[in-house]
Structure 1
Amino acid sequence: MKIVITGGAGFLGSRLIRALLAARGRNGVPEFDTITSVDLVPCPVGDARVTSAVGDIADPAFAASVITPGTLAVYHMAAVLSGQSEAEFDTGMRVNLDGTRALLEAARATGDVPRFIFSSSLAVFGGEMPQVVPETLALMPQSSYGAEKAIGEILVCDYSRKGFVDGRVCRLPTIVVRPGKPNSAASSFASGIIREPLAGIASNNPVPPETRMWLSSPDAAVANLVHAVAVSGADIGLNRVLNLPGLTVTVAEMLDSLERIAGADVRALVSAEPEQRVIDIVCSWPGAFDTARPRALGFTADTDFDAVVRQYRDEFAPGVGA
């Protein structure tokens, strides 16, 4: 019996794999034998229970080769991110839409009704929004990435309604702070304005300082993703879409946290040059959600952004501002 994780070689996917291995058989997490990481490169997790399948998820034959009978759960984490999806429409549609459909069809073909955890995004929203977004707000994506995720959500819900999979759509907050280099996500700057200054490197904030962001640390996001496979479909109910808990923080407040943790000299490394391409996408996203139902199901959030910055500093930049 196995769990399949697309995007398993990435930062969040590899942390999820380690967390699932640690949680196996506890608190509702199923007793699995192996985890298959599906990505364009091999998974960096060195564990005999982890295997890598390298290939294209939009290829139905490849999807069927990795999601086979005996698959307990599928985590669909792989995606072409927001910036690249906007710039390369066909690529985004092929991977984010065709790939999701191929994985769902492969899961359906097993006949096992595996749990299917779909990593979605607050980019499914847009237009005029209330200060706190309710679960019932209509979707109005303002980017191709958001549209692709919205369609994926509907597919997961319908495959669940038909009894092909036991779906859980997890709308993740923006994950901050991600280590490494900037990626193609429009929200990449949210990590960059913390990560780069802590490494002594200049960075830029491209959006207005009052921009509200819905954020989660990697550890909180991974804990919620682990919980997503543990919670029962009966408890989730008809609505399989979950706005996962996060923190509402303005960009100015993020920089205030950076200064408290690392000092004024570190904060001074962040400039403020507007980038309209980023503003058009990021400022269309909501900054707060009603998460009463997910919290009642056991999902949790970080307590404050200072702790998020401190967590990243202690793991990746020890000694800075200490």
Structure 2
Amino acid sequence: MNILIIGGGGVVGQKLAKKLLERGQLDGKPIDKLTLADISDPAPVEGAETTTCDISDAASVAKAITPETDVIYLLAAIVSAHAEEDFDAGYRINLMGTWNVLERARELGTCPKLVFTSSIAVFGGEAPDPLGDWSVLNPQGSYGTQKAMGELLINDFSRKGFVDGRGFRLPTITVRPGKPNRAASSFMSSIIREPLNGQEAICPVGEDFLHYYLSPRKCVENLIKGAEIPAEDLGQNRCMLMPGRTWAIKDLVAALENVAGPEPVKLIKWESQPDIEAIVKGWRWDMHADKALKLGLEADASFEDNVRAYLEDDKPAA
């Protein structure tokens, strides 16, 4: 089994590589080679190879995806606020990058398994609540539009037998380790992560703001399970919601206090940021991932679990 993780330098890519190598197999087959690919050299993971890959460059993609590649995880993308600010870059990377990966698979004729990370940002606008796997895609931002287009490509290339594709609309992954990024949702990790590390964090929305969440730990578990779903069980639509849970910001803060006590909560500062609010208040939160749940994917039991997972897996040593 030869696995390629495109976007292997990111948080999810790194965690996915470590978990796969720990398991040593995928879908009952031993992992012979695992390669992390990203726009610049990914951080090394013991047991994995690394390479560079610019998905917006078809030649770069062709070097990364070889006839021996059995499974491709396509995680690479620029995030929501960045895609909104830089229209050209968003389409070049998020849409044409997906096209380049799919075209390379078609060119090879080997029908590799392809796991695509989409986003709940494909939903929005006038689609009625609750939202589920058969709700109309109606994105209200460039990032969501690019991901929706990617989903259609995954379905069509799978229908034609060029890839064995499956796509998962990720909830907001929280608590993410590291530093804030350019995603409009970045504060949803910052308000937990920074206080746990003794640092101040800004919350740009009110405490009643609702959103749909999943921990990095569960996300990785689901991406592995998602790759192992038999093609015949996926049905005619290869893309689906990944299970998550809906909580208000005040629920996140309460979970932080329940796990770590009152002191970290005092480091959260509430300051409205209209540019962030304008993006995130268009996002939807009433999500029902019935298809993925039936196929064995899971959500976190509580947001306390998300906080504990960060403390166990990612909090820097004192």
TM-score (norm 1): 0.94
Alpha-carbon distance between aligned partners in 1 of 2:317 and 2:181, rounded to the nearest angstrom:
26
Q: Which moved more, 1:72-81 or 1:133-142?
A: 133-142
- Structure 1 residue 228 displacement after superposition: 1.2
CA distance in 1, matches of 2:112, 2:53: 21
Cα pair 1:29 1:229 within 8 Å, conserved: no
Q: Which amino acid aligns with 2:44?
A: V
Aligned counterparts of 1:259 and 1:47: Cα–Cα separation in 2: 35
Which secondary structure does the structure 1 equivalent of 2:102 belong to? helix
Give the SS at the match of 2:71.
strand
Shift, 1:133, TM fit: 1.0
- The residue that corresponds to 1:211 in the other structure is 209
User: 1:134-183, CA deviations, whole angstroms, 9 ceiling, x for partnerless residues?
Assistant: 22211111111111111111111111111110110111111001111100
Q: CA RMSD in A?
A: 1.7
Quote the Cα distance in structure 1 between the aligned partners of 2:200 and 2:149.
38
Residues of 2 paired with 1:315 and 1:101: CA distance? Answer: 34
Q: Secondary structure at the match of 2:111?
A: coil
Is 2:16 the partner of 1:6? no
Q: Which residue of 2 aligns with 1:19?
A: 19
Which residue of structure 2 lines up, in the alignment, with residue 33 of structure 1?
Answer: 32
Identify the match of residue 256 of structure 1 among 251, 254, 257: 254
Number of residues paired by the alignment? 318
- 2:41 maps to 42
Mapped partners of 1:214, 1:116: distance in 2 = 25
Matched with 1:106 is 104
Match of 1:199 in 2: 197
Alignment equivalent of 1:136, drawn from 127, 134, 137: 134
Q: Could you tell me the percent identity over the aligned residues?
A: 41
Q: Distance in 2 between matches of 1:122 and 1:268?
A: 31
Query: Which stretch shows the higher mean deviation, 281-290 or 162-171?
Result: 281-290
Partner Cα separation in structure 2 for residue 115 and residue 158 of structure 1: 14
Q: 1:178-221 deviations in whole A, cap 9, x for unaligned?
A: 11110011100000000011111111111222121111111100
SS of 1:71's equivalent? coil
Q: 1:40: Cα distance to partner?
A: 2.1
CA distances 1:98-153 after superposition (whole Å, capped 9, x unpaired): 11100111111121111111100001111145443122211111111111111111
What is the CA–CA distance in structure 2 between the aligned matches of 1:285 and 1:80, rounded to whole Å?
18
Which runs of 5 or more structure 1 residues have no equivalent in the other structure?
none
Distance change in 2, residues 1:113/1:199 (3 Å): same
Cα drift, residue 313 of structure 1: 2.1
Q: TM-score, normalised by structure 2?
A: 0.95
2-structure distance, mates of 1:30, 1:119:
23
2:74/2:117 contact within 8 Å kept: yes
Superposed displacement of residue 54, structure 1: 1.0
Deviations 1:262-317 (A, max 9, x none): 22231121111111221122122221322221111111111000111122123344
Q: Is the 8 A contact 1:32 1:72 kept in 2?
A: no
Q: Alignment partner of 1:248: what SS?
A: strand
